[in-house]
Every structure is written in structure tokens, then in C-alpha cells.
Chain A
Amino acid sequence: MKIAAEAVTAPQLRLLDTPLWATICVDRLIYHAFLRDERDYADHLLDLKYPLLLGTSAEELLRAFYAVWKPFGDRDYAMFFKLRRWLEQRITLRLSSSSTGQIRLQALRLSFVSLETLVRSHQNAWFQEDLRLPSLDDVQVSFDWLER
């Protein structure tokens, strides 16, 4: 099918792009996934679109992103790179220790194989650095929107 062979292109990524920009990107991916009859891929993309539209929690959006990015991301690498960068610019990582009461804000880097690995890696880094922490699970990790 001629149209299905066209490259999936994204609107220009700029620092101030809104959730609408990301939604348009996901819509384009869905359109091309349907044309290529990739139902499973399209279903995962729809699961990513709704958190974007509904303005849900940052963690829920990241879970939906990982669920589609890891198995399917290589099919549309450039588009997923742009979405990844967009998420990194808008979501920050908040670490807090139950025992010491300390709070740290860190930039989000989506370079891990799963959200669980990302969380574990940040818990581990702090645990290794601060001998007062009783366990890895003393460090709570959450994700916050920088702006919406």
C-alpha cells in the first residue's frame, strides 16, 4: 500500500512544545500502525494517547510510554526519540528518604530498560552514597510534571 510506505514524520520538536504536540506525534504513529495492520502496536499507542489527553499522572504516562517504546520503539526510532526527549524535558524525578527526610530532584533520563530499572538504579545510587540509609526501599521515587 503506497501510503503505508511513507515515512512517519513528526512535527518539529521545540522546547516549548505542548502535550498537544506529543498527542499529534502519537496520532501519526497510530495512523501508520493501522495502515501497516500492526494491531498490537496500535493498541499500545492508544494506551499511550489517553494518558496524554487526560493529563494523568507523570508515572502513569511513563508506564504507558515504556509499554510501547521497549517492544516497538525501533520501528519508528526518530519519533520515539523525540517523544522521549519531550518527556525528559517535562518530567522530573523526585527522590525522598523516609529515614533522613531528605528530598532530591533529578533530571529524568529515559535510558533504562524499564521504569522499574530506572527507579532501582536511582535508589541504588543514593543508597551507595549515603551510609545512613537502612535499605534501598528507604528511598521513595516519584515522577512530577515540571509544567503542563
Chain B
Amino acid sequence: MPNELETLDTTATNTTVTKGLEVLLADSYQLMAQTHLAHWNVEGADFFQLHEAFQSQYEELFEAIDEIAERLRALDALAPGGLNRLAALTDIAESPDLVPAKDFVASLLVAHELLISNALKTRKAAAEAGDAETEDMIIGRLKSHQKTCWMLKSFLK
């Protein structure tokens, strides 16, 4: 008989946690796509620094998405896929193809903040469910997004 202290009940676990992870995955995917768009289309005097900064951000997000999806699988849930399905799960708005460089930055800042606000709820749900591994992963993601917010905000000052 499994020791309740050591085994996470993945059946009850928790739809709140897995639903939250699905949203985190979708938010991250949308944010990655928006960052990639900004990387391609940004123009102006700050082109080189923004082009490179956006690249490192979307590459980091790409790795994070894999980690989130694999966490869902570890919890016996399926990872949602397909652009339409992911778009339906996120509130992060799409940016127009071409906007001033500062608007690309501000738009990504808004997206990071929205993702953080959703991830905080899922972190809380994971803590309440005793799912320390998910909680730990989300804390890592939050740190990364908060750092990016700081950089984006600094650029806009």
C-alpha cells in the first residue's frame, strides 16, 4: 500500500493544478510566439539590442514549455496542443505585426504580467494540494518572468 506521505494522488490532483498548468503552458506558448514576432519585426535605433534580447527570451520560453508539458504528463494529464486549442486557453493578446519598438516591449510586459498573475494562482493551488514539485517548477518560472519584467520595464523608463 503506498505511503500517503510520499505519494502524490495524481487522480484527485488535482484538476485545479493541471488546469492551471494547461493555462501556464498556453500563456507561455502565446508569449513565446509574441516574443518571436517582436524579434522578427522590431525596427528602429534599438533594433540590435532588442532583436537579441527577444531571441534569448523566446529560446528560454521554448525550453520552459517543454518542462511544463512534461510536468502535466507526470501528473497523468495530457498536454494541450495545437495553436487554436492553446489560443483558446490564454488571455494574452496578440500584438499587431508592426508597432513602434517601445510598444513591442510594453506589449510583452503586459503579457508577462498576465502570465505571472495566472501562475501565482496555480502555485497556490499546487501548494494546497501538497504538490511541491509543481510548486517548485512554477516558482522557477515566476523568477524568470519577474526578471524579464524588470528588464522590459527598465527599457521603457
Q: B35-43, B57-65, B106-114, B126-134: which one contacts chain A?
A: B106-114
Tally of contacts, chain A with chain B, CB under 8 A: 31
The answer to whether B89 has its CB under 8 Å from any CB of chain A is no
Whether A12 lies near B117 (C-beta < 8 A) is yes
Cβ contacts B81-113/A at 8 Å (1 or 0 each): 000000000010100000100110011011001
CB pair A13 B110 closer than 8 Å: yes
Number of interface residues of A (CB under 8 A): 11
User: How many B residues touch A, CB cutoff 8 Å?
Assistant: 15
Residues of B within 8 A of A77 (CB): 102, 106, 156-157
Q: Which residues of B contact A12 (CB under 8 A)?
A: 113-114, 117
Contact of A78 among B106, B114, B117 (CB under 8 A): B106
Give min CB distance, B146 to chain A, whole Å.
Answer: 13
Pairwise interchain contact B106-A13, C-beta atoms closer than 8 A:
no
B contact patch SS: helix
Pairwise interchain contact B106-A81, C-beta atoms closer than 8 A: yes
Given A78-B109, A82-B110: A15 and B93 interface contact (C-beta under 8 Å): yes
Q: Is the CB of A85 within 8 A of B156?
A: no
Q: Does B73 contact A (CB under 8 A)?
A: no
**CB neighbours of B157 from chain A (8 A):** 77
In the complex formed, the residue of A with least CB distance to B106 is A81
Q: Could you tell me which residues of chain A, from 38 to 80, have a CB within 8 Å of some CB in chain B?
A: 77-78
Q: Which residues of A contact B103 (CB under 8 A)?
A: 81
What 0/1 pattern do residues 5 to 16 of A give for CB contact below 8 A with B?
001000011110
Asked if B156 and A78 sit within 8 Å, CB to CB, the answer is yes
With a cutoff of 8 Å between Cβ atoms, the chain A residues found around residue B114 in the complex are 12-14
List the A side residues contacting B109 at CB < 8 Å: 78, 81
Contact with B along A68-100 (1 / 0, CB 8 A): 000000000110011001000000000000000
Instruction: Give residues in B with beta carbon < 8 Å to A.
Output: 91, 93, 99, 102-103, 106-107, 109-110, 113-114, 117, 153, 156-157
